[in-house]
Every structure is written in structure tokens, then in C-alpha cells.
Amino acid sequence: MIVSPSIASANPLHLREAVEQVHRGKYEDLHIDIEDGHFIPNITFGMKTVKEIRKITRLPFSFHLMVSRPRDYVEEIAELRPSIVFGHVESMDYPLDFIRYVRRFGVKCGLAFNPATPVEPYRYALKEADGALIMTSEPDGRGQQFLPAMLEKAEKVREIDLPGGLWADGGIDAGRLDDLSGAGFTHVVMGRAIFG
């Protein structure tokens, strides 16, 4: 599996040092969570900060848009050469339209799912997506506890050909990696476990 460090878990006063830590770890990707305070209660950082991070690293950025209006971010994100952009199905009326819109900028697009959201109604859209991201915890403000039931959700997705992979995000530490791999995940997002 590919481990993608989530920079949102780093100390915001020391982002340069966090990026240097990622380089030393020889990771292949830097995960950028954009949270708007509406879709979920938390706010991470805005595009100005992300653009400054881009200036100090050539690592590919994977974006996770935990926002109420994901389409509003796409054009600006596309300028930063992302490896993939995930938008949450809960914030979309028409997920295929979102996928096709992101692709117009030459960017891979994936769909993200909160723990309570079933994947079955979105299989038609996943067949056109590049990837899927399953939240393996809720943003509960208590350390985001890992939800083992999400392993079963992965089994319903892994049979779909997703060139950008099947991602797990939320409450993951090294002790979960074997289970996640066995369930078919190809990428894991780790924040506190890396920057904790």
C-alpha cells in the first residue's frame, strides 16, 4: 500500500518542517485535506497556504475536499498539479458531472464516502471515477476512532477497476495496515500517526 501523509495533522506553525519530514520518510504523495467548517465542523487551511506548500515540495498532492461546494475549488487546485482530487458524494447532486468537470482540467477524480454513506447507490459513478476514498472514522473531535466496519464497505468497491486506487482515511495507525490491505485498500492516509 501507498501511505499518504496528511499535512492537516501537522503543527500549522511548522508546515515547512512537516514537509521536510515527509521528504525524509520517502513518501510518494502529500495529502491535502481542505475542510470548510460547513461540510464538517473543522477548518484546515485555505488555498493560499496550499500554494505556499507547493513552492517547497515537488511531491504530488492528493486532495480531499471535505467541503460543501467541491466544484468551487477545482480550477485553483488544478494549477497545483494534483495526482487526484476527491470530492464527497454527500455534497453532490450529480457525481458524474463532478467527475467530468474535474477531468476537463486534466486531473484525475475520485469520490469520497463518509462512514454512514452506502457505496451501492454510487456504483454507476464509481465505474467512471479514477478512485474511491472511504472515511474510516468520523470527524468526532475525539481523535477520530477507526471504524472496522469500513473494511466491509471496501469489499463492495474493490471489484471496480479504479486506476487511482482505493483509499482509506481516518484514525489509521500502523496496526491497521494489514487489515486494510486485506480488505483491498491500495492507499492509506495517515496524519496523527506520522505527525502526532
**What predicted TM-score, i.e. pTM, was given to this entire model?**
0.95
76-104 pLDDT tens trace: 999 999 999 999 999 999 999 999 999 99
Helices (H), 25-174: 47-54, 71-78, 95-103, 123-126, 150-155
Asked if 169 is an active-site residue, the reply is: yes
**pLDDT, tens digit, for every residue of 33-73?**
999 999 998 889 899 999 999 999 999 999 999 999 999 99
Q: Are 33 and 8 in contact (CB under 8 A)?
A: yes
Question: From the candidates 33, 72, 161, 178, which is the catalytic residue?
Answer: 33
Q: In whole angstroms, what is the distance from residue 105 CA to residue 81 CA?
A: 10
Structural domains in the chain, CATH included, are: 2-195 (3.20.20.70)
Active-site choice (130, 140, 169, 179): 169
- Per the annotation, the verdict on 33 as an active-site residue is yes
Exposure string for 150-181, b = 16+ CB within 10 A, e = fewer = bbebbeebeeeebebbbbbbbbbeeebbeebe
